[in-house]
Structure formats: C-alpha cells, structure tokens
Structure 1
C-alpha cells in the first residue's frame, strides 16, 4: 500500500484589491479594539460599500474616543484541507451618525446586542493585508 505524498501548508500574500474582493465574499469577521492597553476581539458583521467597510459590532461607540484607527479581520479557512484565506483591514473609523444610513445598515446587518453595545462603524481601509492558505505537495 502506498502512502500519499505529504503536503506542506503554505501562506501566500495577495494584493490589496484581491484581499478586498475576498472580504466581500463573507459577511462576518472580528473587530479588534484596544481597551486598557489590551486587544479585545469582538464578532462583527460587515459589508463593503463604496470602498469603505461598514461594520456592526457589539461594542460601545466610545471605542473611537482615543483610537480613531481600528482593525478588522475576516477569514474563510477550510479544515482539515488547510485551504482558504485571511484578510486584515486597518484604517480611520467613525461611528455612523446619519439616522437614515444607520437604519439601513441596522436592517441589513443583523446584530448580536442591542442598545449601547450595538455600534455601526465605517472604516476607511488604509492598510489591507491578505493571504491565501493552501497546500503544496512535498518535494
């Protein structure tokens, strides 16, 4: 009986445009917020709209008080195959203040918490990093 050839897992960087295209293919990710000098990660939903990332996350709006730049991460990893991708976006963020726009996104992006811990944010991507994950046969 022949054993299958071993495979090596590999991570390959993709362009910023491809990373944003991958991000459009999923609706959920994680918002990274720094609180008391510690990174706090919250589940979030997102949509890309006119080049900006709209995020609905269970955080308070004061998350932007002293840190106007936020980081968002999403991925789609298939195990045990070890394939998929990961994308990280960072940039200036602001709370969505316009009532009509907020109502639209509240309808289209379901939330996990309501009230003061339900925030709609707009992130302007300044830094976009993406990687594809895959397998290569061992030499």
Structure 2
C-alpha cells in the first residue's frame, strides 16, 4: 500500500503531516544561495551578536560574543578564555526563522589578535557595550567570508566560500 493511500485510509491530510508547525503549508527542505563577500559583511553589520570559534587546549571551543565592524575588521568582545596571542578564529552570525525557513548565515574566518591600544580599547568598549563578563576586545581580519541565504524550497546546494584579497 502506498503512503498516500495509507493517509487516505486514515482520513488524514498529507499536507498536515509535512507542514511547518501550525502553518498548514507543506514543508520542504530550505533552498539556499550564496551571498557575495561584500553583502555577507554588510549583513554581519546588521546584527550585534554572534559566536566565536577558537582553539582552547587544542580543542574547538565556541562562545557567544557581540561585535561591530570597523574599517573592514570584525571587532569582538570575546571571552577571556580566548588566548591573547594571535590565532585563527571563526566568527558566525545568523538570522534564521524556522517558521518561514528564511534567513542567512555568515561566517568570517581569519587571524585575530587582542586590541591593546588604549584609545582603541576605550572606543571599542563604548561602541560594543559588551554583554558578557570577563571579556577581551579582539580584532579579526577576515581572510575567508562565507555567506548563505535560506528560503523555502526543495534542496540545499553546498555553500560557496569567498576568499578576501
């Protein structure tokens, strides 16, 4: 017996089973499209909160953080667990709506180092208004910017990576 016939025999509507919760509309896997590097950085600047990924004791660690953009650099109020030495990090921000399957995700990867200039620290602390205690201010120079936009659809291609010059 086919699945459609089983549903019919049970007096069920197949669209209810494959619907977004409470929507009554069929749910399909989201489709995606690449976001160009410049647009990805613009989107990153529209939100103030993300996640920083870094190595701690040779293991990947992810922590929440807030950020601003300043002259092409991502300035982050990061956890004190992050080393003060220059290291490669990834920073991710997104806006996703599960009900509509719309949104985007941006990941910036590059070297990060602690900001030590007293004037810059004062400026960045005032602009960032850090949410988390025990933070240090770091600057990420984006080497790789990956962006993907989600919308209702039927399939998701692999994300495209943009390298910064």
TM category (shorter chain) comes to 0.7 to 0.9
Runs of at least 5 residues in structure 1 that lack an aligned partner in the other structure: none
Q: Specify the alignment match of 1:32 in structure 2.
A: 53
Matching of residue 131 in structure 1 with residue 148 in structure 2:
yes
CA deviations on 1:96-115 (whole Å, 9 max, x unpaired) are: 1111110111122122344x
Distance 1:60 1:99, change over 3 A: farther
Bigger relative contact order (CA 8 A; separation at least 6):
1
More strand per residue: 1 or 2? 1
Helix, strand or coil for the counterpart of 1:130? strand
Structure 2 gap segments, 5+ residues each: 1-12, 16-24, 156-165
The 8 Å contact of residues 66 and 131 in structure 2, kept in 1 or not, is answered as no
Aligned counterpart, 1:71: 90
Question: Equivalents in 2 of 1:6, 1:103: separation in Å?
Answer: 48
After TM superposition, list the pairs within 5 Å mapping 1:44-59 onto structure 2. 44-59=65-80
Normalized against structure 2, the TM-score is what? 0.73
Q: When the two structures are superposed, what TM-score results if normalisation uses the length of structure 1?
A: 0.85
> Which entry has the higher C-alpha Rg, 1 or 2?
2
In the TM superposition, structure 1's runs of 4+ consecutive aligned residues that sit over 6 Å from their partners are: none
Query: Is residue 11–residue 131 contact of structure 1 (8 Å, CA) maintained in 2?
Result: yes
Q: How many residues align?
A: 134
Quote the RMSD (CA, aligned, Å).
2.2
